[in-house]
Amino acid sequence: MKITNMIGAGFLFLLLLFPSVGVHAAENSIRYVFPIDYLTIEVVMEKPLTEEEMDPHRLNRHDFVPDFVFSNQLHLTMMPVKEPYDGMHENTYRMAVDGMIEGTMYTVSYKGQKAKTFKAYPLPIMKEKYRNRYGSYF
C-alpha cells in the first residue's frame, strides 16, 4: 500500500512539474488527409472531435482560432462535419476550404501538431483516388 501511494504521489508530482506530458499523451491527431475536390478536404482523426470543435458558430466568433491550419493561404470555410461510420473508417470528417490550386502541395496541422501533407491533383485523379479508397459506390 505504501509503495503504491508513493508511486501515485510521484506520478502526480511529475504531472504537476511537467503538465504538458499528460496533456499531449491524450491529444487527438490527424491519421490521414484526403483532398476530395478543390473545395473539400477529408481528415481521419485518431479520436472523435468534440462537439465544440465541430460547432459551426465558432467560425463567426471574433476570437475564433482554428483547430486545423492549412499552408499556402488555404483556409477553412466550414467547421468539420462528421461522416457516417461505414464500418471501416472511424472518426472521419469533411471540411470545406476556400479553394485549392491544382498541382499545389498543402499541409494541414491540428492544434499545432506535426502537419500532414496532401496534393491538389487534377480533379479526375482526385476522384479516382477517392473511389479507390471507398470502392465503387462513390
pLDDT value at residue 85: 78
- The whole-number pLDDT of residue 13 equals 52
Predicted confidence at residue 21, as pLDDT, reads: 45
Q: Which residues contact 21 (CB under 8 A, 6 or more apart)?
A: 14, 15
Alpha-carbon gap, residue 119 to 104, rounded angstroms = 6
Domain ranges of the chain: 28-134
3-state secondary structure of 30: strand
CATH fold of 28-134: Immunoglobulin-like (2.60.40)
User: Residue 20: what pLDDT?
Assistant: 45
d(CA 33, CA 31): 7
pLDDT of residue 130: 80
Q: What is the pLDDT of residue 133?
A: 76
Q: What pLDDT, in 10s, does the model give residues 64-83?
A: 999 999 999 999 999 999 99
Sheet with 116-119, side-by-side order of all strands: 68-70, 105-110, 116-119
**φ and ψ at 27, to 5 degrees?**
-65, 155
Below-70 pLDDT ranges, the chain: 1-26, 135-138
Q: Which three cell numbers stand for residue 37?
A: 475536390
Reference 118, options 136, 138, 100, 96; nearest CA is: 100
DSSP 94-128: EEEBS---TT-EEEEEETTSPPEEEE---HHHHHH
For helices 2-17 and 19-26, the axis angle rounded to 10 degrees is 90
